[in-house]
Structure 1
């Protein structure tokens, strides 16, 4: 759960930082900044940046999810084996 929270908070922070940078650049160049355009460009910029900057956090989150899925599968298989053993009695 910790990995999910860390990754999500870092994505949100990166998105907000991208919004600020895009807004400032757009306003400096054009003198005005449409909110929709800033949000779309900020979303794209933060997505691309997160691919490179948050790779370690994403990998840690993926490992955690894989471990949890493996444990769930093992528990399911164990319960299924016990059920099969009970039926054979």
Structure 2
């Protein structure tokens, strides 16, 4: 669960930073005005691409954790199934 929280918090921080940068650039370019809709869309796109590269290690750790839990659940299921077959 820790990996999920770390990755999610880092994604949110990355989005907020991207949003701040986009709003700042738009405000500078358009005399202090900016379109909130386009600022959010651009921030999502920028943070999505950036997170693919920047948060790769956290995403891999989360994927390993999920895979380990799935393997453990699958092994437990197979063990219960084999025990049921013996009975």
Instruction: Report the TM range for the smaller structure's normalisation.
Output: over 0.9
The answer for unaligned runs of 5 or more in structure 2 is none
Partner of 2:69: 68
The answer for unaligned runs of 5 or more in structure 1 is none
Partner of 1:23: 23
Structure 2 CA distance, aligned partners of 1:81 and 1:66? 22
User: TM-score under structure 2 normalisation?
Assistant: 0.97
Partner of 1:3: 3
Runs of 4+ displaced beyond 4 Å = none
Q: What is the Cα deviation at residue 41 of structure 1?
A: 0.3
Q: Alpha-carbon deviations, 1:32-73, whole Å to 9, x = none?
A: 111100000000000000001000000000000000000000
Larger radius of gyration: 1
Structure 2 CA distance, aligned partners of 1:55 and 1:24? 27
Paired positions, count: 86
**RMSD, aligned CA:** 0.5
User: TM-score under structure 1 normalisation?
Assistant: 0.94
